[in-house]
Every structure is written in structure tokens, then in C-alpha cells.
Structure 1
């Protein structure tokens, strides 16, 4: 009996010693060893205090869409899981639990520095068909733009974009009347204010550009010849074009093209002496059609400038952008009559010396001068006139 009691006592003592030894081997480490925030490719590391982590990031470092990385001792656990936190908008609390169950709490308080930006970045005037971006002088705060007269300065839709985190007064959405200068105050997140003054005016300065120097004349219109090589009678129609580049924003009112003489049949040298219709197509640099119109030419026309009225087209030409003006005789193939487009072969610079164009359509090829693919660059500069308001 004594032997059994002794064996039981020895077994109990051994289990007790093993349990105590196991508890003593569990780590009590429950500290945060490192703390960092990464946004895109930028990583910020922070100093760890006794029970808190505090710090600031630059105003441009937004605390959204971020990744938080925390290292803790081996075997410890942290709650909540840092990988689930994608933004910081206030203090955070973390609890680190050691292997032996001891818990240490941390408060994380990281903020973004207030932004000092107080800029108006864009001011756009929205109309039914167009949007006009104003010019902003960052030093003086003056914002200016001239817009077409068709728009009422007392009833404008203006969109203002300003610095992130800043505020603006008055609210641009409440302002419609820009017939007089309007002041806006932009206040940065840090409290610094800047005043901007907006001056919108009508484009009311009349201008006229004329290119009339001619030393060459190109076929324009249809063709009735039966004896021309590689050309069928009443098959083709030849048009003329010119690149237009203005140095200031322009609302064009009239565009004129020049023909050296009236229309006639080439084969019998007989004048047509009847009214004809010419068509004008205006395209942008990507050859998208911006507008088109027609004009009637009387049967008594015997040469000179022919006007196209552009006023109802609400056409707007931006400074230093490329526009292509193409014109041709409507039903030129069927009519078989032609005239001559006046051009200048001399080299030069400025409005009158931009790229010329020529286009040719054929009934036999089922092509039309409405298609930009039948137009090609021509080495001459064709005579044109342009009027409008800046």
C-alpha cells in the first residue's frame, strides 16, 4: 500500500512541476516593435512610445487607401488586425496579447498637417455647346476670359475648381451674374486666405484677315472635257481648302474664298451664267466636322471673293489650334463647270501662309467631297478672308 501511495505522490509532483515549467516558458512580450504606414510607394515610419504612437505626415500625404504594418514579438497577437485598416480619420486602439495572456494597449494618433493651399485651379464657363477655360494669374489673383457675345453675362453657368481641403466663399454655384467683376475668397485648411477677382467680358473686338496675293490658279469644280487624258467627262469634282490658325480666340462671322473668274464649261469655253451653290466644311485637327454651310453665287459672278455667313453656326476658333476649311461646288460632277481658285506659291509665315488643300471626288469611284479621305495637302496658300470678333 505504501508503495502505491508513494508512486501516486511522485506522479502528481512530476505533473505539477511540468505545468509550472510550461507556464514559465510562455513569453510575456507584448510590445509593438515597429509601426509604419505606406501609401502607394511612400512609406512613413513612426516612433513607438510606452503605450502610444503619435506623429504627423505632410499635408499631401492623404491618410486614405493606406497599408499599416505593425511588427510584434513572436507568438504574440494583435487586435484589431492592422491589415484591415485602410484609412485613419481619428485615434486608433490596438491590444497586443503575449503568449502568456498578458495584454498591453496602445493608442495610435497620427494626423496629416493642415494644407496651406488656397488656389483656384480652374474656372470654366459652361455654355450649351462649349466650355471656356479662364486665364488665372496666380500672383495677382486676377481671372479673365472673353466669351462670345451670344452668352448673357448676367446668367452664366460657371464651374470653379479649387485646392483640396480649402473652402471658397461665396459658393460659385450661387453666382450667375458676371456682368461686373466677382470676388472669391479661398481659405486654406490651415486658415490662410487669398482673394481672386473674376472678370468675364464679351468678345466684341472686330477683326479682319485678308490673303489676296495671287500668282497661281487651280482647277475648281466639275469637268466636261471629253478629250482630257485619264479623265471622264462629268465624272469628277475638285474642291479647295486652307488651314486656318488664329493667334487669338475668335468667333468668326464671315469666311470668304476667292475665284479668279465665273463658272464656265471648259470644252466649249462657254460661260454658265446661272446661279450655283458652294459648300463650306470646317473641321478640327482630327478632321471632325465642326460646322458646314452653303452660299449662293449669282449667274453674273465673274470673279472675286465669295462670302460664307458663319454667324448662325456658333463657331468658335481657339487660338493657335489647327482648323481645316474645305469648300467645293455642289453637284459639280453633274454640272461639269469649273472656275479657278486663286493661290500664292510664295513662302511666308503667319495667317496667310498655312497649308493649302485640294480634294477630288469621282462618280466612277463612288467618292464624295464630304469624305475627308479624298482631301490632300497642297503646296499653295489659297486666297481667303476671315472676319469675326476677338
Structure 2
């Protein structure tokens, strides 16, 4: 029998699973808000470093769940199923007051369904991208979760139409990130010159993303350095394992001479300090938008995964800033379009084109206003209602 997850008698027991860095951030904010509303509370399940710093008890390291792509998931499937089965059995035995699955729908929705069938209360925090692909998932999500917490305004109407209980809470990042970030102050804090080009490279928080995008971004930096000899590059890595992985990529590409500064975490600092950001598609693109920085969005998958995903897409874009705006505000270069030359050219174009940059910033400001609610507090209230406290 596995060790107990919850150990404090009389405490409100909140189980959570956050599958990657963005989920860890959301989970940490939710923990703070829940603890403010209900001090006698205990958290356990699977979480990342921010959640652990707040006293979260994680059954396994969060990195075990951070796998993307059909082929990649297939390789890790036996271990993922074992982890989910073990956690499911533990939670059914220990009966937490509520379970909150944070994003990671492939892992969490199946777990939520099992727990709900066993009589536990379940919340799914972060709607899957039903507005972009596989809209038929809405009803299935409703079978798994008592409540869906939606971060974007276009999501709740889709659940309402299907009779699924959902609430719009805004996005926590919109409250966390200042409306007008101070680029010069951030550069001073990081010890960077204020008059040189600074580019942030965000190859992804998952190790599988880094394998696809890390080397590509290193070569883009090399290309940009030919055009901007005094450029500086900031590369935030989510964890120590991804930092070590990026170091191996630097060695593989013989790139230790490039002016690349690595950061563990501190992605927002890198974004704010940058003139332009090159970012792998995902939650990080929204973070860049909220810091009001021009960006180029890129992504690569295995050939088979890409073919399967492409057929199911309902929108012409994948980056969250473009989805929220309903148009191509920033360029997206995906799969075979994501070459060193094309990515470097788009980054350089945004760096030089002041008019385009101002249009992008104005759009991002309007976006920020729509998304800025007291998200963590609203989420905490909703979770406590589901827990019937």
C-alpha cells in the first residue's frame, strides 16, 4: 500500500494534479486563495515546484506527466497509466473533499471520471481547447467534472450550450503581470545594456518540446547574431532537468560561444526585458502577450502527430494571442515552416518594424483588460462550492 497523501485529521482535503509548468503556476495561485478562504486545508496529488513550495505533497515528480505528442505519449503510456491508476486508488481510499485537475486533459479527465463515479467531487481547471479542435469533447468533459473553470471568455458559452456546468474566471496571469511592464528596469535588474537588442527564446517547458525546439532556437540565435552583433539572448528553462538538457543542446550545436544567458524559471523577467520573443506555442504565448512584447510563435511535432492534429483543427491559428484576437496579430511558423531562416527573418522584422510592434502592443493591452479578473479568488470560491464547504 502506498503512503498516505493526506495526514492532517480535520483539515479540508484538496487533491490536485498539475501536469506541467503552467499548471503548477495555476495550482500555486489556487492554493494561496483556498488557504486564505479556508486556513485549515491540506493539498496533495501531483504538483510542481511552486506548489511544493507551498506545502503540497506530490505523489510523483511533475515531470513524469510532462509528455506531448501521440508518439511520445505512447512511449510513456505504461508508466502514465500506472501513475494514474495508483493515484486513483489512493484518492478513492482517502476520499478528499474535492479533486481539481489542472489542465493536462489526457491525464486528468479520465482520472476525474473515475473519481466522480466513485462519489468524489471533481473540478477541471482550464478548459481544453474545444474552440480550436474536437468540440465533441464538451459533453465528455461534463461527464468527468462537476465544474469546468474557464480561463477565456469564448469557452463558457460552449459548455452552457451542452448543459455542462462551467464558469469564466479570467486568467490568473492577467492579474499577476503588470499592465505596463518596465523593460529598462528589468534590463537593469538582469544586468543587461538598455541600448542593445535583446531577444528571449522560449523553447518550451516540457523536455519533449525542448528536444524539438531547443536546437532550432539556438541556430536562430546564431543567425540573428550575424545581423545584430551586439544582441543578447535570454533563455528561461522551467526546471533543472530542462536546463541540463539545454546545456547538452548547446554542446551538440557547438554554441557555447553565443551570448545566451540561461535562467531557471523567471520567464516573465526574460519576456519583459526582451525586444522580441521567439516562443513555442502554449500558455507561454499568452504570458508574452500580457507582458506586451511582440512575438513569433513556433511549434514542431513528430510527423504523425502533426498529421493527426492538423486534421482536427477548427481555426487557422494555434497561438493563444491570435485565437483571442480572432486574427493573426503575430506570426506563426509551424512544422515545416519553422526553419532557422524564416524564424530569424520574422523576429528581425518585428524588431525593426515599429508600427507593427505598436499595433501588436495595443491589441495585447485590450486583451489584458478582458482577461483581468480576480481569477484565483473566483476559482477558490467555485472549488469550495463544489466541495460543499
TM norm structure 2: 0.20
Return the structure number with greater helix share: 2
Return the structure number with greater strand share: 1
Higher relative contact order (CA 8 A, sep 6+): 2
